[in-house]
Amino acid sequence: MNGEDIKTYFKEIFAQVAPEVTFEKIDMNMPLREQIEIDSLDFYKIVVALQKKTNVYISDSQLANFKSLNELIKFILSQSPQDLPLNLSSSGK
């Protein structure tokens, strides 16, 4: 799993959770909520879906520290190998 894989996951998740958002227009280095209108339920669904895809747990207190999607991607990549996804083969990658 690399950064591009996780970006693809994000794209798939956004297509389900917030289909009105054009993912390509999101600046990966800017705070998400300053760019698009998502509420706490959307955010919850995104986090749950991301955990299911990557098998990496991200706590709410950690989430509060991330300033952008790129920071979040770096965090996921920093997790130990045993936390890597079990379902990569089904992700199309």
Partner 1 sequence: MNYNLPMPSLGADMDEGKIVEWKIKTGDSVKKNQIIASVETTKSVIDIESFREGVVMNLLKSVGDVVHVGETIAIFDILGEEILDQKEQRIKVSPAAKKMCEDNHIDFKQMIGTGKEGEITLQDVENKLQSTKVEKIFSGKNLRQAIASLMSRSKKEVPHYYLKKRIHLDLLMKWQDETNRNVDPSRRLLTPVLLMKAVINSLKKYPEMNGIYKDENFAFSTNIHLGFAIAFKEGGVLVPAILDADAMSILELNAAVLDLITRARDGHLKSRELSEGTFTITNIGDLGSDEVFGIIFPPQVALIGIGHIRKEPIIDSQDLVRAGFVVDITLSADHRVSDGILGAKFLNEIDKNLNSPSSLG
List residues near partner 1 by CB under 8 A.
33, 37, 39-41, 43-44, 47-48, 51-52, 57, 59-61, 64
CA distance to 4, 6, 31, per residue, from 36 (Å): 21, 19, 9
Nearer to partner 1, 11 or 52 (CB): 52
Of 24 and 37, nearer to partner 1 (C-beta) is: 37
- What is the helix (H) or strand (E) element at residue 29, kind and residue range? none
Closest CA to 46 of 65, 67, 71, 18: 18
- Compute the least distance from the CB of residue 51 to partner 1, in Å: 4
Of the two residues 15 and 63, which places its CB atom closer to partner 1 in the complex? 63
